[in-house]
Amino acid sequence: MSGGLLIAGTTSDAGKSVVTAGICRWLARQGVKVAPFKAQNMSLNSFVTREGAEIGRAQAMQAQAARVEPTALMNPVLLKPGGDRTSQVVLMGRPVGEMSARGFFGTAGSGTGAPGGASPGDRLRGGRQEALLATVLDCLATLRGTYDAVICEGAGSPAEINLRRTDIVNMGVARNAGLPVLVVGDIDRGGVFASFFGTVALLSPEDQALVAGFLVNKFRGDVSLLEPGLDMLHGLTGRRTYGVLPFRHGLGIDEEDGLRVSLRGAVRESAVSAPVGADVLRVAVCAIPLMSNFTDVDALAAEPGVVVRFVDRAEELADADLVVVPGTRGTVEALRWLRERGLADAIARRAAEGRPVLGVCGGYQLLGDHIEDEVESRAGHVDGLGLLPVRVRFAREKTLARPVGTALGEHVEGYEIHHGVAEVTGGETFMSDAAGAGLDGCRVGAVWGTHWHGSLESDGFRRAFLREVAAAAGRRFVPAPDTSFAALREEQLDRLGDLIEEHADTDALWRLIESGAPQGLPFIPPGAPA
């Protein structure tokens, strides 16, 4: 069995995904065969593997950091929120149904799990969320039998004591797989010492025994000023700090949740090159409800002279050269939101004036004539924005694919994740195969729509598309001829590896991965410092 490590966090967004990716890249550069793993992910930001499985984009990014191909084994359980209380459950890359939080974390039924040989879907439908632990541990064991090291990412905080009994992603995995745990804390938020101590103190003795120590994230300033606090933390907990990572802009690529497009941030916050042409291009992305795969616009923002921002008011579209309507897990709800805020009318006026609009996946669907939805929202017949001659019917089976084709005379690749089936009744096909036969999407004038996420990462296609946008917008914008999105992504992953290599105790980290948590770590009773 290979070595392993679980990266937990004091809170959500403490930096677990970034640290996991950084450790994967550091190990890969040392010649270690390493894989990422996250047992359970809650995210609308997902990806399709080559075998057609849907996983969190964070795990796909971590696999890229590890220089391995992502698979469903790396994220066996994916929850895709459809509102405040329900989520679509994706098991081993395939959707198995919608479930409320109470249903997923509840304890209906009796016994300790599903019968031997039951599928993951059967285990879930059997009514016991914790029975999925068997699937999770099977996946982890397979990875550990294949790779030299597996770096696991937790979720939220391991000290969610209300969920500990059914936990399959934090200490539940660590206990069953014998993994040492490193707790990451975001010092930029403040209160990191209290968060470190409190996280450990709320755990049971058995869980505490696996918590080897801490990793400080996003530190600004002189580390020597922090060291007395780290020494005191060691005295209080008996656990060391394995590194202090400095604050760096734009490192949180492919986040699970939230409204951040980090590569855009990295490009904007670094020394941004001036536009090649005389003008910049301004891109407004509608921040629709349940927005999915907001990383689709990262590649636009990577271009010198392209300014990307998220908007939620009609007046913010006034100076935009391109409006992007992104994917969403709630197409009908997004339509209602656009209409309530006046954005629908503003987008329609743009289209009538020949000003560019791009819809991606759910955004493409709502640009059409009408939608028949008896699956996602069960709203029945709903009129779309009527900007593209497209009729959409929601199917129960989800389309999961990695298509390849041509568009605007350029090679383009993408991935599809949608229930909506589009019937195109007019206009021009957007994506075609090598022989010119239509594959996906529609174009009418300066309005484009496609189901293909990630298509703008194809450099030649992106440049051709931006030239079309600039011409329609009347801008003297010229795409940079040598911008490589893949190269920018690799540079960013290397920056994550550099953070670990330069600011963590890598010798101690490797001993932790190889040998597990140190023996004899003390138990910290809750309230002990008082």
Q: Confirm whether 442 is a catalytic residue.
A: no
Q: Which residues pair with 383 in a beta bridge?
A: 370
Cβ 308 vs Cβ 358: under 8 Å: no
Residue in the block written with tokens 């550990």: 144
Residue 112 CA to residue 64 CA, distance in Å, equals 36
The Cβ of residue 15 has, within 10 Å, a number of other Cβ atoms equal to 25
Q: Which residue has the tokens 């929850």?
A: 79
- Pairing verdict, β 149-153 and 3-9: parallel
Q: Annotate 313-333 with b (16+ C-beta within 10 A) or e (fewer).
A: ebebbeebbbbbbbbbbbbbb
Buried b (16+ CB within 10 A) or exposed e, 99-116: beeebbeeeeeeeebbee
Q: Which two tokens stand for residue 333?
A: 């709800």
Coil, strand, or helix at residue 102? helix
User: Which run of H or of E encompasses 33?
Assistant: none
Helix axes 459-473, 485-503, angle to 10 degrees: 120
Helix (H, G, I), strand (E, B) or coil at 297: helix
Give residue 334's Cα distance to chain centre.
20
Pairing status of strand 54-56 against strand 46-48 = antiparallel
Contact 68, 437 (CB under 8 A): no
Tell me the C-alpha distance between 240 and 235, whole Å: 9
| Short-list 4, 377, 360, 16, CA closest to 176 | 4
Q: Is 503 a catalytic residue?
A: no
Nearest one of 313, 311, 329, 399 to 366, comparing CA atoms: 329
Tokens of 184: 């990451």
d(CA 356, CA 228): 56
SS3 499: helix
In the block, which residue shows the tokens 């190990």? 27
CA distance 172 to 165: 8
| Rounded-to-integer distance, Cα 158 and Cα 211, Å | 10
Q: Which of 361, 419, 442, 503 is catalytic?
A: 361
Coil vs helix vs strand at 61 = helix
Residue in 419, 451, 453, 503 annotated catalytic: 453
Instruction: Provide the annotated active-site residues.
Output: 361, 453
